[in-house]
Amino acid sequence: MTASQQDLALREQAQGFLSREVHHLIIDGQSVPAASGKTMTTVNPSTGDVLARLASGGQADVDRAVLAARRAFKGPWSAWSPYERQALLTRVGQVLDAKFDELAQIEAVDMGAPVTRLRNSKAALMKMLSFFASQATNISGETLMNGIPGSVTTMTLKAPVGVIGGIIPWNGPLVSQFWIIGAVLASGCTAVLKPASEASLSVLRVAEILLEAGVPAGVINVVTGSGKDAGNALAAHPDVDRIAFTGSTQTGRSIIQASTVNIKKLQLELGGKSADIVCSDADLDKAVPGAAMGVFANSGQICFAGTRVLVQRPIVDEFTERLLAFIKTLRVGNSLDDTATLGPVISQNQLDNVLSYIDVGRAEGAELLCGGQRLGDELENGYFMQPSVFGGVTNDMRIAREEIFGPVLSIMPFDDIDEAIAIANDNEYGLGGAVWSQNLSTALRVVHGVHTGTMWVNCYGYVDPMVGFNGTKMSGYGAKGTAAHMDTYLYTKSVYMQL
């Protein structure tokens, strides 16, 4: 079966959803047009064709959605017990399990990730839902000793904060939206979600599925639209209690400014420029594919991509040769082609931006060892780019300092571990990072030395909600996963009881 035949066959399964004339907002359990009547289009990045028309929401729609979320927060939902919310999360998991293939197809054509990669992400989603189901029955305060004369009992209580504004990026909304939805359902909050205009469809379809699974109307609302209109209206809304934002550092700054209206607490997961350190004693059978996919997975559109690959000088040649051989095994193709390992980047804009960094790298004196071009032939209408590698990169170059968010890897030689740690730390971001070494003390030295929110040793990119995923420096704050994640959705009340 050719890619285009597969494309048609797979689309049929999600056809009912994709063929709607306009995808409306979801407010208070209802599908409603934007108050202004405005719409916008979204494009399939594998073909460049218009995929769907969506409501383009703005201030009035955010107002309506926040009102619905507030009403739901104060309504019968507030009386659901932790066990009931846990059972709901379990049911949501079962319904999503049954519908996941349809969701994977929708996401594949909307944001361009290969459908096989998306199907494989089902296990991660199921784990996330189990984790949040467990959190529903694990919300606890403390009883505390005190120094107050007399008989005063003191404790802290945890309570849901209220309405959450969830602002979601385009690089993997199908799974990433559940960092918000899971915590909202576990904590008893409600939410207004604002997906990225480039990839909103899986968020809209999930909101419908949540209603089918029994999530009460108004608990999860979705307002599609631009960041400038719908996103900013949500971030600045005086009746939104918290913002959970994942996106670029630049947008994160605007969110911080907007949040001052009512001093919202923020969970900010921002950009990155992570260092992946390959020591001379690394097992290259693992380090080469690990470091390569640490960059090229999702066509480089992953916040924690290890785009600065620091390689110890004695093995630079061998590592480079094996990396280039590995890249030849990757197949770039239509996101619905089951054999594709890499899909397109999200948009023409993103492609232009990534290609401009190829020019920047060359002009800075780095050596382009492979790739660097848009792909043609049957892929010419999509936003496909060859996986690209620069050699001889130094840390002062823009390609080593700025987030490219595309399939571009930089090889940066180093001599000793202290130098590698210094290079890794000489960057404004602090999101991911890894070390490949068979020597445990070398690995631990790097783990301790690198100033970053998440480190992997002899692996790259595992994220488990039980362990969490953090960022520091300009990569943001507020944990994803662990009980710390739930803290964004709860507030603490200190209680003094004189009996």
C-beta nearest to ligand NAD: residue: 227
Residue 383 Cβ, how far from ligand NAD at the closest point, in Å? 14
Select from 75-83, 93-101, 113-121, 188-196 the region that touches ligand NAD (CB under 6 A).
188-196
Q: Alpha-carbon distance 176 to 366, whole Å?
A: 34
Distances 282 to 199, 286, 329, 413, 457 between C-alpha atoms, Å? 38, 8, 22, 15, 11
Q: Which residues between 229 and 248 bind ligand NAD (CB under 6 A)?
A: 231-232, 235, 246-248
**Position 271 contacts ligand NAD (CB under 6 A):** yes
Per-residue contact flags (x/-) with ligand NAD for residues 114 to 153, judged by CB under 6 A: ----------------------------------------
Contacts of 272 (CB under 8 A, 6+ apart): 303, 304, 305, 403, 429, 430, 431, 432, 471, 475
**Catalytic site residue from 269, 279, 318, 367:** 269
CB closer to ligand NAD out of 270 and 423: 270
**Position 429 contacts ligand NAD (CB under 6 A):** no
Q: Alpha-carbon distance 399 to 401, whole Å?
A: 6
**Position 227 contacts ligand NAD (CB under 6 A):** yes
Among residues 169, 226, 244, the alpha carbon closest in space to that of 203 is found at 169
The dihedral through the CA atoms of 206, 208, 214, 216 has a sign that is: positive
**Position 413 contacts ligand NAD (CB under 6 A):** no
Asked if 384 and 363 count as a contact pair (C-beta separation under 8 A), the reply is: no
Q: Alpha-carbon distance 293 to 302, whole Å?
A: 11
Known catalytic residue: 189? no
**Catalytic site residue from 102, 198, 303, 403:** 303
Among residues 291, 282, 257, the alpha carbon closest in space to that of 443 is found at 282
Count of residues near ligand NAD by CB under 6 A: 30
Known catalytic residue: 269? yes
SS3 368: strand
Phi-psi region of 224 (alpha: psi -120 to 50; beta: other; left: phi over 0): beta
Among residues 112, 41, 18, 106, the alpha carbon closest in space to that of 350 is found at 112
**Position 221 contacts ligand NAD (CB under 6 A):** no
Residue 304 Cβ, how far from ligand NAD at the closest point, in Å? 7
Asked if 319 and 288 count as a contact pair (C-beta separation under 8 A), the reply is: yes
Per-residue contact flags (x/-) with ligand NAD for residues 189 to 208, judged by CB under 6 A: -----xxxx-----------
Per-residue contact flags (x/-) with ligand NAD for residues 58 to 97, judged by CB under 6 A: ----------------------------------------
**Position 430 contacts ligand NAD (CB under 6 A):** no
**N-terminal to C-terminal alpha carbon distance within the chain:** 76
**Position 407 contacts ligand NAD (CB under 6 A):** no
- The single residue listed with the structure tokens 């296990």 is 123
Using the rule CB under 6 A, which residue among 169, 182, 333, 407 binds ligand NAD?
169
User: Which residues bind to ligand NAD, rule: CB under 6 A?
Assistant: 167-171, 194-197, 227-228, 231-232, 235, 246-248, 251, 254-255, 269-272, 303, 403, 405, 431, 471, 475
Active site residues: 269, 303
